[in-house]
Amino acid sequence: MPPRSRSPKPLGTITRGTTNPNRLRRVDRWLTGPQGYRLRRASDPLVVDLGYGAAPVTAVELFTRLRSVRDDAELVGIEIDPARVAAAEPLARPGLSFRQGGFELPLDGRKPVMVRAFNVLRQYGEDEYGMFWDEVRARLAPGGLFVDGTCDEIGRRSTWAAIDATGPVSLSISLRFGAFTLPSDVAERLPKALIHRNVEGERVHGYLRALDRAWLEAAAQASFGNQQRWTAMCAALKTDGWPILDGTSRWRLGEVSVAWDAVRPS
């Protein structure tokens, strides 16, 4: 889908804008870890934090983490509320800037290699997210990635959908050990594309039930710690044929990613 012509006003609406320091550490660890190759290979190492909220703290944190991967990485924080942009300006520095805009990504023709939008689309209607996914992915650089995610207030429970130029490719779940009883406790933090699909007959419902079963069946591993139990759960899912995309190094972090086809809405 080709991008729309430049809108006279930002595309989207002002969201609640709540944020907390280190709230997005889990997705940042994924972007700079297994996805870091995208930044290293980029001809223009431009990253966008879309809808960073009332305070730019998570944008600054992402910028710092990106610079650990590539010292010329550039981050542009985009917010639809001009007051939030003005409040962030004092934190701007070489490589880190803020501007008003929305899903149209006002970047003067540049194409970002990564776009992170967290706790943004969950505040829109279920009939809207697809349009905004298309809007952003049409503006990605070759090999670029758009991440649409949701997490709780302090980042203990987090999920995100990864979308490239072809469409959604994966769903990731990342949980802090001790912050859940069953993996499906994360259901209330699913991306907008899936949060209303956790019902009988939907793929994501079946996936969460499979996670719960494997977690319970791995209870014997709990004596070695929740890290070992989570790893055993993920390995069992993979053995059972679920298209798990990562391995032990990610599982030890309380994280697991699955191909989108396994959870896509019916």
Torsion, Cα 59 120 27 79, to 10 degrees, reads -20
**Per-residue pLDDT reduced to its tens digit, 107-163:** 999 999 999 999 999 889 888 999 999 999 999 999 999 999 999 999 999 999 999
pLDDT at 196 over 90: yes
Average pLDDT over the chain, rounded to an integer: 95
Mean per-residue pLDDT, 204-232: 97
Confidence of residue 85 (pLDDT cuts 50, 70, 90): very high
Q: Which residues contact 146 (CB under 8 A, 6 or more apart)?
A: 114, 115, 117, 133, 136, 137, 140, 162, 163, 164
pLDDT at 2 over 50: no
What confidence score (pLDDT) does residue 4 get? 45
Mean per-residue pLDDT, 28-41: 98
- CA–CA dist 19, 2 (Å, integer): 32
What confidence score (pLDDT) does residue 15 get? 76
What confidence score (pLDDT) does residue 8 get? 59
What confidence score (pLDDT) does residue 13 get? 83
Q: What is the CATH number of domain 25-197?
A: 3.40.50.150
Ranges of beta strands (E only) in the chain are: 46-50, 74-79, 96-100, 114-118, 145-151, 157-164, 167-175, 255-259
pLDDT at 89 over 50: yes
The ranges assigned to domains in the chain are: 25-197
Structure tokens at 48: 């966008």
Share of the chain above pLDDT 90, in %: 90
Cα-flanking dihedrals φ and ψ of residue 45, to 5°? -75, 60
pLDDT at 95 over 50: yes
Cα-flanking dihedrals φ and ψ of residue 163, to 5°? -125, 130
Q: How far is CA 1 from CA 4, 127, 130, in A?
A: 9, 17, 12
